[in-house]
């Protein structure tokens, strides 16, 4: 049978489009962070932060729709993970950088956070089958789910709303060896470490 253009998109299920909406929101948040760095309009930054909770909504809906329509697939799971990397890994890190976490150690911690998120999702994809019960459904998360980074974005939104950005960022900054460190960046390190934990188990709804 002759394959038509965009034949892959024709095979997408309804849940997959919600997953793509999740990725769209995350990408928009990254662009919003970049626009703020270019023009300095805090409104752009806040709009980018609003997109992360919206991505969270789409992320929750895609799973529910897949279960409702009984069309869960390997493709859907991979799409979900890739979208989550953007919306709850890269985007929160970009927003943190835009807010003022631009020291050398900040870069390291933001990169660590994204790396932990990628590792967390890869582990879930690999172990999902073994963690499934008799019903074929994963009953718990190992480590905190990557969408929990929406809490960090909420914290950044409070800082942005209060005008505590750049040099005025909460908790200040100090020189540690050759680079600058903002203590607020440690929130990312904590979040990343919790995501890759093997001992934390959170029931999956």
Output the average pLDDT for the chain. 86
Residue 142: pLDDT band (50, 70, 90) is: confident
Q: What would the mean pLDDT of 150-167 be, rounded to a whole number? A: 95
* Domain-wise residue ranges, the chain: 7-203
Q: Please, which residues have CB within 8 angstroms of residue 131's CB and are 6 or more apart in sequence?
A: 138, 139, 140, 142
Burial 34-54 (b: 16+ CB within 10 A, else e): ebbeeeeeeebbeebbbbbeb
Q: Looking at residue 62, what is its pLDDT?
A: 73
Going by CATH, does the domain composed of 7-203 fall within 1.20.120.1760? yes
Residue 130: pLDDT band (50, 70, 90) is: low
Q: Looking at residue 1, what is its pLDDT?
A: 47
Whether 9 has a pLDDT exceeding 60, the answer reads: no
**Alpha carbons 200 and 137: distance in angstroms, whole number:** 19
- Model confidence pLDDT, tens digit, residues 17-47: 888 999 999 999 999 999 999 999 999 999 9
Burial 151-165 (b: 16+ CB within 10 A, else e): ebbeebbebbeeebb
| Global confidence as pTM | 0.86
Closest Cα partner for 203 from 116, 138, 117, 133?
138
């Amino acid at each position: 049978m002759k394959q038509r253009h965009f034949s892959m998109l024709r095979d997408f299920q309804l849940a997959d489009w919600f997953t793509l909406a999740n990725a769209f929101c995350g990408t928009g948040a990254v662009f919003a962070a970049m626009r703020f760095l270019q023009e300095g309009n805090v409104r752009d930054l806040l709009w980018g932060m609003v997109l992360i909770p919206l991505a969270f909504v789409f992320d929750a809906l895609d799973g529910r729709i897949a279960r409702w329509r009984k069309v869960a697939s390997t493709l859907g799971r991979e799409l979900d993970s890739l979208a989550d990397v953007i919306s709850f890994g890269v985007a929160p890190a970009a927003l943190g950088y835009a807010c003022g976490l631009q020291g050398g150690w900040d870069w390291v911690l933001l990169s660590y956070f994204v790396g932990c998120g990628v590792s967390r999702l890869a582990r879930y994809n690999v172990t999902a089958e073994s963690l499934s019960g008799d019903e074929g459904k994963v009953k718990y998360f190992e480590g905190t789910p990557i969408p929990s980074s929406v809490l960090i974005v909420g914290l950044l939104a409070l800082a942005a709303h209060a005008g505590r950005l750049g040099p005025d960022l909460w908790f200040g900054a100090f020189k540690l060896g050759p680079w600058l460190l903002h203590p607020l960046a440690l929130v990312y390190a904590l979040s990343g470490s919790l995501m890759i934990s093997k001992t934390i188990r959170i029931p999956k709804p």
